[in-house]
Amino acid sequence: MAISGWYINFELFFRWLHVFAGVIWVGHLYFFNFVNLQVQPKLDAATKKVVNPLVLPRALWWFRWGAMITLLSGLILFTFIYMYTQGNAQVAARWGPNASYVADGTLTGRGIWITAGVTFASVMWFNVWFVIWPAQQKILRGLAGGVAVDPSVGKRAVFASKMNTYLSAPMLFGMLGAHHYSAMNLATAVICVAVAEGVIYLAYRGSAVAGATV
């Protein structure tokens, strides 16, 4: 029998939506950085004019809207999990930081994890919508019209995309740690960030040689 009650079913749906959209967003982020970034320098100008207008607009559409839905569903989840307390027969429901987020006036370990995750994700979302996408629009218009685009535009998009890639790994630690590893101290934070960034660094190194070893 399914669990009754609007709250638990509401939370389940938005958790599913959040993860689904997040897979689309981060999956495309890794495609751009670990696949496309390695392929583009090897394509000649004629090939880019044919391939990129077909592939990039579609990939960027899923990329940016995956980011938007991930952020919005995540903020909804954050609000209901950490900024809402369910009521019962004795206590009325209330809005505001609950015991999962704050205890004795300070952030809980779980609160620190999720705050870090939300902060990283918000920076990544901003980069997608206000740095990467505007730059890619200029590049795509240039490709379609055969007009040269200032190289700094592409460099700006690549820099923001790489930043997001390095932010994505500690962001995932924050999201997972909040639910599965709620203890937090400085050593834990340093180790998690170091492991996350090391994995991304190795992924970049591996992506540079992966095509030659297939």
41-72 pLDDT tens trace: 898 988 888 888 889 999 999 999 999 999 99
pLDDT at 1 over 90: no
123-158 pLDDT tens trace: 999 999 999 999 999 888 877 777 777 889 989 999
Burial of 171 (0-12, 13-18, 19+ CB in 10 A): buried
User: Token pair for residue 51?
Assistant: 């391939």
CB-side neighbour CA atoms (13 Å) of 113? 21
Furthest-apart CA pair in the chain: how many Å? 71
Report pLDDT for 116: 97
The span from the CA of 191 to the CA of 173, in Å, is 11
Q: What is the pTM of this model?
A: 0.91
Angle between helical axes of 186-213 and 151-180 (0-180°, round to 10): 130
Name the residue ranges covered by the structural domains of the chain: 24-213
